[in-house]
Structure 1
């Protein structure tokens, strides 16, 4: 195909399934001089599955295998696998891929991802054996009958099926080997695979292979689609930096999303407990945020245990049930997305370099099969960082395809026609068609409002269906994601418009004012509390409308005028109610309590809601609210306060905020020897590895502002006096 474009080029080719193709790219200038790339290759996937879903009809980890004869004629061999959960595949006992923690995390009712591998070089002449080990993941969560930590088990989590399943298809030349009852199945030596980090392995178990059961009637409902985003890898390997031999605590020097590797010798049946931790108590013992651990049962010889089907938030590991002398080798692998590194930051001020490292390791710890909030406590795909942190991630990693997968998860999680839930708490929120809930995939259902707002319907979270896609488009020039999301984004706007117009009925109000205030407002200004719900959430509604107008213009849709007209009505009503003009001042007050906050000035400034004649005055109000160089806001307001100050060229003020010796302050974390970002601006924060964070009193997260913003601001801010 010939095109003047550099991306967004769709090529229609008559490709065969499970086949390797080679290609190169050529470019011509106006004088017809040509430059060509080297040859690259890709492998196609499956057009139609010829085999069956197989297993042993249980929810416990299992292994399936198939022995087959290979002629050794170097016929091309392509293997495709889908599993309902996490998996590991081996050929003749060896892993065929550098990927780890395989098995996409999706809404299995809508989509199940499959992986494809070229295995030609792994085959040997004669008998070969494929082995696939399958584990629970999110498909059918296992908390060991309530004995182990599983955050969402009592928060609306529902299994997607009753048993683990595998489907595979191997094509060698024109011949197929597919999953059916000629395959064998047995119990895995992984006896518990709790996605939250409890992974038990028993090496006293002997494999007892039996014919696999064909379980097509229990197949997942979702469409089987190819895995197209960067797989997980062991990006870094850490050895223990210090060891407390008395307590058997190993310090790996870096908090991370960890999978451990341990080689150990002991007695048969000896049980060894491996306990991850992100912090220590004052007495030097570990302090766990959540009670996760792995139990290893030894075979009686020399055993190697590798964590495969979960990750831990861990800098430290404590070993119980073994002596130091029994441990022959111990490693912690930093498990993260293999997304290409695309940027870095360095300057002459070492404190800024440390801040960057702090942010980057938190980002890497949370780039998974989705963008998680932390690798320790919740592990969920909370959606607000996907637009608030988009630049932070994209300036450092190529996550174009990962963001497309997250967008698919959002579309799958959106409430469809006739679907409705009612909040079970103090306030009867109506969750209905068009809503994009706060997490995707829906591995929980947070529909309990105890009076502080809904955790399920939060507009800066749901708006990612619009804003994350728009950030992706702006960064990667990916128009396709705007097209894929457009129908869902329109449904979400319709849902928000109904919420806005129905304000009086929903919130038992009278009068002409209209707002959206269902969610959490400026979440995190106090622990588990938000403020300024009407101000912040209605501002986001306006911003969504304006971005949708721009998207509709880009896609040549007919909705631009409608979005613009609605936005102008919202802006006019917003300013009439919330913009105060008195004694030469102009500022925004909180509708709920009349407060004059940093966030309430910053959002209208950044979203273009402030009347032109009032901009300077509102900017002056924001600056006056920052006189003590502390951020007094929640996690949503934080981004826009920093952006507004940057647009005002107040970079010295931003520098002062970053380098305060007390919280909120990055310098405080650096001085406390943190290696990732804690959840709150507190020394005793609950989680220690969040790339988006809130505060018990104040909230500031330079990571969430974005490492892209970081780089931009630092070019202006690091005017240091040496």
Structure 2
């Protein structure tokens, strides 16, 4: 039976706010093998039952079932749409119509924004961290005739939208953090069932957030503006085709909220005694409420955010109540996370609940706050004294596993506390399990490192006075993240800000959004070296879009970022001398263990690292140009790439084949970026293994070398060494952290040293995903699920599992845009049982590495190859048994 089991819009199940028609995709199920779609047709309706069809697509003879564009349909602002698809396959079967996917259109053109940005703050409030209330009462006489109603809302700062006494939507920390002067997201919510005949009330709570709050390790504020402001446009569609619009304007009123203080790093203070009951309900008297004023902001910057908003993604209950040796009361939630603590409390008016959030206990079991630097991570709630009260913060979040209870008005009951997990809403796509519990925990830690740091932007860490979108961290982790979660739209949003924040010359900031430029006078490193264009960091401009193309097969991200990608390559070219590139401040192999004592900079020379990345990014950009059929650019940058490679080889290899820089990272980059002359590849690989053995099989790499270490080994016939490196469990290693009880990935290999002491407190995050980049090796190599850049998005996959490490079994599933790709292998002596699942309408090259003899082929025609056996397979599930060499 042929079925369309899921229809997606921009790879999402639904979009709530779009400004252009999304790309469509669908997942196909069939009991047959080798299933290929032969045709499809699409319908669009304004109702879920498809009684009023707006678009009846004709049958299209096509195998495309993802990244399908529909240019012949025109959207109208503030409308509900339902889309469905029907398909045929190569067996002559025709599916039923799919279940519909839904979307809501946003405000399609800047001229349609009739609302203004409004605030009750004055210029004197620029240093004020208090939240404010806004409200607007309006009357509806035709509520029974409403067909649909949608509100489009955003803010300069952070907002919560309310309607008739209830919060609208489930999102938090909206509208998120962007390059506000160029790119401001707004959210769209359906409110049809929440409007009433007669008086209705719109309201909002506004906080400082990233826009005007205290941000960055230099602790400046007002980076983008000095007053928080709201823009809101309620669109009411009536059954007769008419419309009514309620906008934010000077008719609104404002007041002070019970949130006395709220900052990203420092937490929130809430005095429930100062609440204004019924402030967003009918019949409220606005006595003492103040007039609002209009804030100037360019409305053309407003862009609909249809998905990936930050929201509550889980709850965690405490696992222990601890009294430390110093006498502090501490709640242990058992998992390092990003979010906040929700609690219940009873007491008299004026009693307080005060919580301090932190990551680890020190060697003596006491509260450790030093690594937070100046971030307070403190929440304070003042009770109003009315029965049981419940609360959680509004415009802040914390990175923590532990909570120190500084005040609580009653005997402590763990049942009254819950950790709320916050991160950008993304579908989990990667699932991994194996026979080694420590490796399973490492995968868990990598996944939770993503969750903790993908809070609207890909932050470096979620706890200290930083939480910035460091481009290097995001670049390093991008491929791993895209196996673990569906990151297409998350990264597309962030890359848009990267594009806007690039320098006119094409330089790429160290952090995006960029709040370092102009604010680093007290930081010697950045004030002297500059705030943009560091190798491996700035290369996010090219590597991340290319990764999105590989993983999702969508040329849209390449089109959107093409000028940005080209700008970065051209920037390097301008500043290169005879194809060797180096520019101002370079982080190099950041925090590598081969750094000099007291230094963050690894031993690998910057000119080698810079030129290696110059070659790699230029190659990827040439491939992007080819994918977009930009032939002239492809030819130019492909030739440039070859010239850079030749120059790298001349500069860094001796005539006998010795790589001049004798570091692990130098050899890793040369191998993984294909910079090694063919005649010297074996020697370079052997030397890398020698360097590994010099440290008893341990790595000493930092941010640049670590992500590619296992790849450099396994791609060059050293699979055994790659597995051995991965499974080391003494310092320094990934599993050393696991043995130390980590539940996320650390910033430093020795964040907690073997003797229990801490690495330097100035930079010691215990939730820092960069070294979690090894996760992609688990999927791409151990499970062998690899994308084919000639048919990206896993339209054609390369399945080449590499057993090893003493594992008896491994079971992995990756939910590609076409469906689940599954690989499970079991090893018993020299015998391997392999189960592979290939989604419908895709194919795969299956390679049995080190296969000596195929004992059960399940109908597959294997042929001998240099690696063992290979075969081309279509969709279906296959069970193979073979013996290893």
Short-chain TM bin: 0.7 to 0.9
CA distance in 2, matches of 1:609, 1:159: 42
Aligned pairs for 1:325-364 (under 5 A) are 325=411, 329-364=416-451
Specify the alignment match of 2:378 in structure 1.
293
Q: Are 1:678 and 2:746 counterparts?
A: yes
1:227 CA displacement: 1.1
- Structure whose residues are more often strand by fraction: 2
Are 1:232 and 2:297 an aligned pair?
no
Q: Report 1:409-448 matches (<5 A).
A: 409-416=497-504, 433-445=505-517
Cα distance change, pair 710–362 in 1 and its aligned pair in 2 (3 A) = farther
Deviations 1:691-716 (A, max 9, x none): 114xxxxxx86347675556449852
State how 1:495-514 maps to structure 2 within 5 Å: 495-501=571-577, 514=580
Shift of 1:129: 2.6
The correspondence for 2:349, drawn from 229, 254, 268, is 268
Does residue 202 (structure 1) correspond to residue 202 (structure 2)? The answer is no
Equivalent residues in 2 for 1:223-622, closer than 5 Å = 223-244=301-322, 247-288=328-369, 289-290=371-372, 291-301=376-386, 302-325=388-411, 329-377=416-464, 378-416=466-504, 433-445=505-517, 450=525, 456-501=532-577, 514-516=580-582, 518=584, 519-525=586-592, 526=595, 527-531=599-603, 532-557=605-630, 558-582=632-656, 586-590=657-661, 596-622=662-688
How far 1:333 moved relative to its partner?
0.7
Matches within 5 A, 1:37-52: 37-47=98-108, 48-52=112-116
Alpha-carbon distance change, 170 to 221 in structure 1, aligned in 2, over 3 angstroms: closer
Match of 2:153 among 81, 87, 90: 81
Q: Give the corresponding residue for 1:419.
A: none
Gap change, CA 1:10 and 1:216, over 3 Å in 2? farther
2:877 corresponds to: none
**Equivalent-residue separation in structure 2 for 1:708 and 1:565 (angstroms):** 29
- In 1, Cα distance between equivalents of 2:802 and 2:645: 34
Give 1:536 shift. Answer: 0.9
Q: State whether residues 388 and 705 of structure 1, in contact with CA within 8 Å, keep that contact through their aligned partners in structure 2.
A: no
For the structure 1 residues 546 and 259, does the alpha-carbon distance in structure 2 shift closer, same or farther, using more than 3 Å as the test? same
**2:217 alignment counterpart:** 152
Deviation at 1:663, TM superposition (A): 1.6
Q: Corresponding residue for 2:257?
A: 188
Q: Look up the SS of the partner of 1:114 in the other structure.
A: strand
Gap change, CA 1:35 and 1:62, over 3 Å in 2: same
For structure 1, the residue ranges without an aligned partner over 5 or more in a row are 143-149, 417-432, 502-511, 591-595, 694-699
Once the two structures are superposed, residues 299-354 of structure 1 have per-residue CA deviations (whole angstroms, 9 ceiling, x without a partner) of: 22333221121211111111213244276721111111210111200112211111
Any idea what SS the aligned residue of 1:716 has? coil
Which deviates the most, 612-621 or 647-656? 647-656
- Aligned pair in 2 of structure 1 residues 299, 323: CA closer, same or farther (>3 Å)? closer
**Distance of 1:111 and 1:220 partners within structure 2:** 10
How far the C-alpha of 1:549 sits from its partner, in A, is: 1.2
Paired residue secondary structure (1:392) = helix
Q: Does 1:637 align with 2:698?
A: no
Q: Secondary structure at the match of 1:544?
A: helix
**Contact persistence 1:165–1:219 (CA under 8 A):** no
Aligned residues: CA RMSD: 2.5
Report the Cα offset of residue 496 of structure 1: 0.6
Distance 1:93 1:710, change over 3 A: farther
1:15 alignment counterpart? 75
Contact 1:183 1:211 in 2 (8 A): no
* Aligned residues of 2:342 and 2:419 also touching (Cα < 8 A): yes
Q: Is the 8 A contact 1:136 1:194 kept in 2?
A: yes
For 1:681 and 1:454, locate their aligned partners in 2 and report how far apart those are by CA, in whole Å. Answer: 27
The alpha carbon displacement at 1:34 in A equals 4.8
Among residues 219, 224, 229, which one is paired with 2:297 in the alignment?
Answer: 219
1: CA distance, partners of 2:169 / 2:455: 17
> 1:403 deviation in Å?
1.1
Which residue number in structure 1 is paired with residue 831 of structure 2? Answer: none
In the aligned structure 1, how far is the partner of 2:542 from the partner of 2:156? 29
Contact 1:161 1:218 survives alignment (8 Å):
no
User: Could you say what secondary structure the match of 1:645 adopts?
Assistant: helix
Q: Equivalents in 2 of 1:403, 1:473: separation in Å?
A: 11
Measured after TM superposition, the shift of residue 635 of structure 1 is: 1.3
Give the CA deviation at 1:27: 1.7
Contact 1:28–1:35 (CA<8 Å) still a contact in 2? no
Change (3 A) 1:94 1:579: same
User: How has the CA–CA distance of structure 1 residues 169 and 228 changed in structure 2, closer, same or farther, with 3 Å as cutoff?
Assistant: same
SS in 1 for 2:705: helix
Query: What TM-score does the superposition give when structure 2 sets the normalisation length?
Result: 0.72
Contact 1:517 1:534 in 2 (8 A): no
Residues 199 and 295, structure 1, Cα contact 8 Å, conserved in 2: yes
Alpha-carbon deviation of 1:475? 0.4
Instruction: Pick from 176, 179, 190 the counterpart of residue 104 of structure 1.
Output: 176
Q: How many aligned positions are there?
A: 674
Q: Is the 8 A contact 2:710 2:725 kept in 1?
A: no
Query: Per-residue displacement from partner, 1:363-409 (whole Å, max 9, x unpaired)?
Result: 11111211111111221111123332222111121111111101101
The runs of 5 or more residues in structure 2 that have no matched partner are: 1-56, 238-242, 280-285, 753-757, 786-800, 809-827, 829-885
Task: Determine helix, strand or coil for the equivalent of 1:462.
Answer: coil
Q: Counterpart of 1:389 in 2: which secondary structure?
A: helix
Report the Cα distance in structure 2 between the residues aligned to 1:513 and 1:51, rounded to whole angstroms. Answer: 52
- For residues 217 and 134 of structure 1, the distance between their equivalents in structure 2, rounded to whole angstroms, comes to 14
CA 1:710–1:384: 2 relative to 1, 3 Å: farther
